[in-house]
Amino acid sequence: MYFREDIQKLISYMPHIRNREAFALYAMHFIRAFALSLPGIFIPIFIFKLADKPSVFLNPFINNFFWVCAYYTVAAFVTFVCNMTLLNLVFTKLGFKKSILVSMIALAGVMGFLMMAEQHFYALAVVAVLSGVAVHFYWIPFHVFFMRKTQDGENFGEESALQLFVVLLAGALGPLIAGIIIEVFGFGPVFWLTMIFICIASIPVLLFVQDQRHRNHNASAICKTFFSKKRSRRVAYAFIGGAAEGQLYDICWSILLYFILADFIRMGSLVTLSILVSSLFVLWLGKMMEQKRLGNIGRLSVFVNAGLYAVRVFTKLPALAYGIDIVDRLNGKIYNVAYMTNSYDAAKEMGDSDTIIFREIMSHAAQVFAPIAAFVVIYMCANWQWVFALPAVFSLATLYIFKKNA
């Protein structure tokens, strides 16, 4: 009785999840985000530390980083190929709900083969393929569903903030929990726990979201059309920059934190602390974005984001790592909410499903090449941390998403 009243009050305070379909979308995203927050920051380190890697390079650090970059390149390439060839499997054959279910099954497989990779390194190839498949079958349906089921205002400011808040809320304790488990028991229990939550994540959408018939889409034709227009070309640059920056952040910041902190529990506690400090800021930010009261702060956050990468080049001390992570997550809320809001608004302006498809194609094309570029920098520079110059530059490309009238 009291629990039900508490839930009703919570919903009344969040107008954008009042309808059942929107609530189901947020619920699925919450469960999935919590599941993936458990291994999330530790996956690059897991791959980096795997034993029995083939020795492509004599230097152990270079060789380990090579295989991390190879994994992310292959996963992104698989997603890109799926985006180009399997669009209509998502839109007309399976539909969005079944596609999301396929994604969850693939993610469960990712966790299973990650456990195998501890003894059999080449299982990592299967992990990369399944990971790429999981991304393709989840994000296109989710983004289109999100645009069609949740908007309740002039733009997507509050909806984008709430989506990000859901991810932050779900993932707040995941890194700390996983860090403790890894330090005590190893990676295996974390992968099992992730698999359990992944298996139930799609249930809200399968039960409560109504799908509809979708038209056929031609990936090549969509890309050709979008590149023929100046406005959509600029948006493409932002998609490319944002995706490459995000991927290199996930890879390189995780590994740098591991070298500086040298402890999974300390890593997990840092990420949890940073998320908790910054998460409530997101909802206020979305409200301001919805009301267009933030002026140029979104653009300013892009430059702050790039500046934080420049500081990372010279970061060696734990205290500085803690400070950067907290400031980055506070600024990142402005950066990410502004980027997401403008991305969804651009999709609304230029056609929702086609723009989402174009975004996914551009994003994963960028993520094929970003790890390759990162490895080249690491191989050539005496201080491997110069790799952070790359995401600094890539993040500046997101400024194009703000230039609506250019």
Task: Judge whether 214 and 95 are in contact, CB under 8 Å.
Answer: yes
* DSSP codes, 331-372: HHHHHHHHHHHHHHHHHHHH-HHHHHHHHHHHHHHHHHHHHH
Task: Judge whether 76 and 131 are in contact, CB under 8 Å.
Answer: no
DSSP class of residue 86 equals: -
List the chain domain ranges.
Answer: 17-402
Q: What pLDDT is attached to residue 150? A: 62
Average pLDDT along the chain, 406 residues, taken 10 residues at a time? 42 52 83 90 95 91 97 97 90 86 96 94 96 93 75 52 62 86 94 95 87 79 85 84 94 94 88 74 58 66 91 93 86 70 64 79 95 96 95 91 55
Q: What pLDDT is attached to residue 2? A: 38
Q: How far is CA 230 from the centre of its chain?
A: 27
Integer Cα distance of 110 and 132 in angstroms: 10
> CB burial class (10 A; 0-12, 13-18, 19+) of residue 119?
exposed
CA atoms within 13 A on the CB side of 8: 5
> CB burial class (10 A; 0-12, 13-18, 19+) of residue 27?
middle
> CB burial class (10 A; 0-12, 13-18, 19+) of residue 289?
buried
Q: What pLDDT is attached to residue 366? A: 96
Residue type, 76: A
Task: Judge whether 194 and 35 are in contact, CB under 8 Å.
Answer: yes
Integer Cα distance of 82 and 26 in angstroms: 25
Q: How distant, in Å, are the alpha carbons of 167, 198, 260 from that of 330?
A: 15, 28, 21
CATH number for the region 17-402 comes to 1.20.1250.20
CA angle, corner 130, sides to 238 and 117, nearest 5? 115
User: Roughly what angle, to the nearest 10 degrees, separates helices 352-380 and 318-350?
Assistant: 150
Q: What pLDDT is attached to residue 14? A: 47
Task: Judge whether 388 and 313 are in contact, CB under 8 Å.
Answer: yes
Q: How far is CA 192 from the centre of its chain?
A: 21
Integer Cα distance of 24 and 21 in angstroms: 5
Give the 3-state secondary structure of residue 55: coil
Residue type, 147: M
Q: What pLDDT is attached to residue 174? A: 86
Integer Cα distance of 341 and 289 in angstroms: 8
Q: Which of 398, 362, 364, 356 is nearest to 144 (CA)?
A: 356
- Whole-prediction pTM: 0.86
Ordered alpha helix ranges (H), 212-263: 219-227, 230-248, 254-261
Sequence-separated (6 or more) residues with CB below 8 Å from residue 105: none
